[in-house]
Amino acid sequence: MLTRRILGSVKDAEIEHRGYILTGKEKYILPYEEHYKTVSTNEQLLSQLVMSQSNAEDKKELAYLKKALAAKRAEMDKMIRMSPQERITVRQKTIKTDFAEDEMNNIRNSCNRLLDSFYRNLVVEDQQASITLHHAGVSIGVLSAIVISGMAVMLTKLVNNQKKINMLFNAKELKNSKLLSQQQELKRLSVDFSARNSELEHFTHVISHDLRGPLNNAIALVGIIEDDCPPVTLAPSFQMLKTVTLGLLLKMDELIVLLRHRNGANLLKEDISLSQLTEEVIKNHQIEMEKAGTEIEGDFSEADEVNSVKIYMQSILQNLISNAIKYREPLRKNKILIKTFKEGNILLLKVTDNGRGIDLKKHGEDVFGLFKTFHTGQDSHGVGLYLVKKQIKEMGGNIKVESEVGQGTTFCITIPLGEAVI
């Protein structure tokens, strides 16, 4: 029946709609639109049938069903157009309550009333047929034969209809079972999503309160030394201590801003100078570079001013430069080359060193693995390159490594940029 098809398609559309509201994934939108196209087609067929065969009460019920379908579609379209923050509120209401169930009940009840009316009309038509045969004066024998034939036909129809009803009932039960399973999965995903958000908020709190306090104390001590012991402040080591401490505070503030912004599921992009950012990273490694005799050359002539995630770019440079110093070849002068290119809206960043290199045949699949180390005798934890790849992936980019043992390593990074800086 057309009413059953309409009801089933609306339910399927509602499943895809809930999937989009709870996850925010675009893959649910196209199936949602396809289901509503099916609803529209069956609605037109039902209208033609009712207008040609049914009474005024059925036509009135058809108008009510159309109004309920339009209201349901308008409500779900409105939710799809909501902002991410508004969808979070609707998502929580959807999980905790039977949100937007009233419109679905109206559609379901209207379809059932039309179906009941259809069956009543069949009974009336059968009764009218019997009366007509009686008035026509058909003989008892002929009438009996007709009645028996009619009963056989009706019985066949009833059997067939019962089979169809059973098939529809089984299909409905299967859909209900699938819907229940999907709802449970969506609830599980939503609970997991909420838990991760809570962990992120807790981590932000730890950084902003538990770690920032001791760092502020260290900066205050630097200020006290400057006031009480002016000669000490002239020492290069004191100036390095001051620079590193202030740099750490700045990086922590940027990390706090990033974490808070990530609660909205977006990365904060800003205009940055890669040459200046590299200089800041070099200052943080000044002591290690002097001990290792490291020389760093930067070429940002083709791509310096870019729009990207500053704290990620700084962390990437920090980890790659730190590794190049740590795993240098002691028999030759440690050199690092940082060069950037720009192809359309893509940033290409290459970091090359002449250090020990990595045996890619042996460790190629584990280069960016967590807690994976490839050199002995170093203070290594196998976290730096893992973080580098994770940050690049979150920005929609990619990283590759080229290396030869005893010759050095080159990391090739591609990252999509925001709106170009003019």
Q: Quick one: which of 108, 147, 113 has its CA closest to 127?
A: 147
The predicted structure's pLDDT at residue 422: 34
Domains of the chain: 2-137 (1.20.1440.210), 267-416 (3.30.565.10)
* Amino acid identity for residue 384 in this structure: G
The answer for residues whose C-beta is within 8 angstroms of residue 300's C-beta and 6 or more apart is 274, 275, 278, 338, 339, 340
Identity of residue 385: L
Say if residues 39 and 9 touch (Cβ distance below 8 Å).
yes
What number of other Cβ atoms are within 10 A of residue 204's Cβ?
Answer: 18
Whether the Cβ atoms of residue 372 and residue 363 lie closer than 8 Å to each other: yes
Q: What is the distance between the alpha carbons of residues 187 and 99, in angstroms, rounded to a whole number?
A: 14
Q: Are 360 and 407 in contact (CB under 8 A)?
A: no
What would the two tokens of residue 355 be?
A: 């250090």
**Contact yes or no for 372/318 (Cβ under 8 A):** no
Instruction: Please list the alpha-helical segments (H only) found in 54-83.
Output: 56-80
pLDDT tens string for the chain (422 positions)?
Answer: 677 788 788 888 778 877 777 787 888 888 888 888 888 888 888 788 878 876 788 788 878 888 888 887 787 787 777 777 776 776 566 555 555 577 777 777 878 887 777 777 777 766 776 676 566 555 666 667 787 887 888 888 888 888 888 888 788 788 888 888 888 887 787 776 666 666 666 666 555 556 656 776 777 777 788 778 877 776 887 777 877 777 676 666 656 655 654 554 456 788 999 999 999 989 888 888 888 899 999 999 999 988 888 888 998 998 899 889 988 988 899 999 999 999 888 999 999 999 888 888 877 677 787 766 666 555 556 677 888 888 899 888 999 999 888 899 999 999 988 654 33
- At residue 24's C-alpha, the angle toward residues 65 and 398, to 5°, is 150
**Continuous segment of H or E residues that includes residue 96:** helix 84-96
CB atoms within 10 A of CB 342: 14
Name the phi and psi angles at 45, rounded to 5. Answer: -65, -40
CB atoms within 10 A of CB 122: 13
How does DSSP classify residue 27? G
| Residue 104 DSSP label | H
Alpha-carbon distance 12 to 14, whole Å?
5
CA 298 – CA 276 distance, rounded (Å): 11
Strands 408-416 and 346-353: antiparallel
Phi, psi of 13 (to 5 degrees): -65, -40
